[in-house]
């Protein structure tokens, strides 16, 4: 399988927490192109794939996920956003591909969040034999709340970027439409002036001998 990896990433954020880690990245997907990413995952590990097309075209993209044996375990056609959670049945390299091959003009900007493994508790709280103290419980609740806030912030940033792009496209269309209307009005006005001028132009009579 021939894959083409783009180096035009807007940003890449890799978080490593014990046995749990996540990869968040936003990358450019050119027209008629396909981008694939490889990740080694151990058996019985919980994995979540989330993606969203931020800008470009109809905000859609083809997505496929293959296990180490080459079997497609997830596939979507022309999707704007989606989330898929699964448990790895085999140890090996999993491949997720984003395809924009159906588009010949539109570049896409795609956000991907690839979470591998369950999030570990705060240090010192996972080995508790006795009941956690009130302070420890509060710390764990705050940690969960902060994680939720980070997820909400990411989604709000994506929606803001998507809305800004749509507003810019709309503004550009309105600008060009206004320019075309202005040119049309000026052309019609000049044409009317010439027509009226011809009506009031004095013509010399013909001399008949």
Condensed to tens digits (0 to 9), the pLDDT of residues 193-209 reads 888 887 777 666 555 55
| Rounded Cα distance, 75 and 81, in Å | 12
Residue 113, domain member (yes or no): yes
pTM (whole model) above 0.75 = no
Residue 127 has pLDDT above 70, yes or no: no
Residue 129, domain member (yes or no): no
* Tens digit of each residue's pLDDT (9 = 90 or more) over 72-93: 999 999 998 888 999 999 999 9
As a whole number, mean pLDDT of residues 161-189 equals 87
Residue 139, domain member (yes or no): yes
**Which residues make Cβ contacts (< 8 Å) with residue 103, sequence separation at least 6?**
31, 32, 57
As a whole number, mean pLDDT of residues 164-175 equals 84
pLDDT band with cut points at 50, 70 and 90 for residue 125: low
What pLDDT, on the 0 to 100 scale, is given for residue 142? 81
Count of alpha carbons within 13 Å of 13, Cβ hemisphere only?
8
Identify the domain boundary among 90, 120, 150. 120
pLDDT band with cut points at 50, 70 and 90 for residue 167: confident
Task: Say if residue 11 is in the same domain as residue 55.
Answer: yes
| Rounded Cα distance, 76 and 113, in Å | 16
What is the enclosing helix (H) or strand (E) of 92? strand 92-99
Identify the domain boundary among 120, 153, 175. 120
SS3 of residue 90 by DSSP: coil
Residue 98, domain member (yes or no): yes
Helix/strand/coil (H/E/C) assignment for every residue in 25-85: EEEEECCCCEEEEEEEECCCCEEEEEEEEEECCCCCEEEEEECCCCCEEEEEEEECEEEEE
Task: Say if residue 51 is in the same domain as residue 142.
Answer: no
pLDDT band with cut points at 50, 70 and 90 for residue 130: low
CATH at 93: 2.60.120.380
pLDDT band with cut points at 50, 70 and 90 for residue 37: very high
Residue 190 has pLDDT above 70, yes or no: yes
What pLDDT, on the 0 to 100 scale, is given for residue 198? 79
Residue 111, domain member (yes or no): yes
State the total domains in the chain. Answer: 2
Task: Say if residue 111 is in the same domain as residue 190.
Answer: no
Range of the domain at 66: 1-120
Task: Say if residue 196 is in the same domain as residue 115.
Answer: no
As a whole number, mean pLDDT of residues 151-168 equals 77
Match 């052309």 to its residue by tokens: 187
**Mean per-residue pLDDT over the chain, rounded:** 78
Q: From its phi and psi, is residue 168 left (phi > 0), alpha (psi between -120 and 50) or beta?
A: alpha
Task: Say if residue 116 is in the same domain as residue 166.
Answer: no
Task: Say if residue 196 is in the same domain as residue 147.
Answer: yes
pLDDT band with cut points at 50, 70 and 90 for residue 180: very high
Task: Select the more confidently predicted residue: 170 or 144.
Answer: 170
Residue 170, domain member (yes or no): yes
The pair of structure tokens assigned to 183 is: 């040119």
Give the CA angle between residues 8, 9, 13 to the nearest 5°.
160
């Amino acid at each position: 399988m021939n894959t083409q990896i783009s180096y035009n990433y807007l940003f890449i954020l890799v978080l490593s927490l014990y046995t749990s880690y996540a990869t968040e990245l936003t990358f450019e997907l050119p027209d008629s192109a396909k981008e694939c990413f490889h990740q080694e995952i151990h058996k019985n590990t919980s994995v979540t794939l989330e993606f969203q097309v931020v800008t470009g075209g109809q905000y859609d993209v083809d997505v496929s996920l293959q296990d180490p044996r080459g079997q497609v375990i997830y596939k979507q056609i022309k999707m704007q956003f989606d989330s898929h959670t699964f448990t790895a049945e085999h140890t090996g390299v999993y491949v997720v591909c984003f395809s924009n091959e159906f588009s010949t003009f539109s570049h896409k900007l795609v956000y991907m969040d690839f979470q591998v493994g369950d999030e570990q508790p705060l240090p010192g709280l996972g080995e508790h034999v006795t009941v956690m103290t009130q302070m420890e419980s509060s710390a764990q609740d705050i940690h969960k709340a902060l994680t939720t806030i980070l997820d909400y912030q990411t989604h709000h940033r994506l929606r803001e970027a998507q809305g800004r792009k749509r507003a810019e496209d709309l503004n550009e269309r309105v600008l060009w439409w206004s320019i075309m209307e202005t040119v049309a009005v000026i052309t019609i006005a000049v044409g009317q002036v010439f027509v009226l001028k011809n009506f009031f132009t004095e013509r010399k009579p013909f001399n008949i001998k």
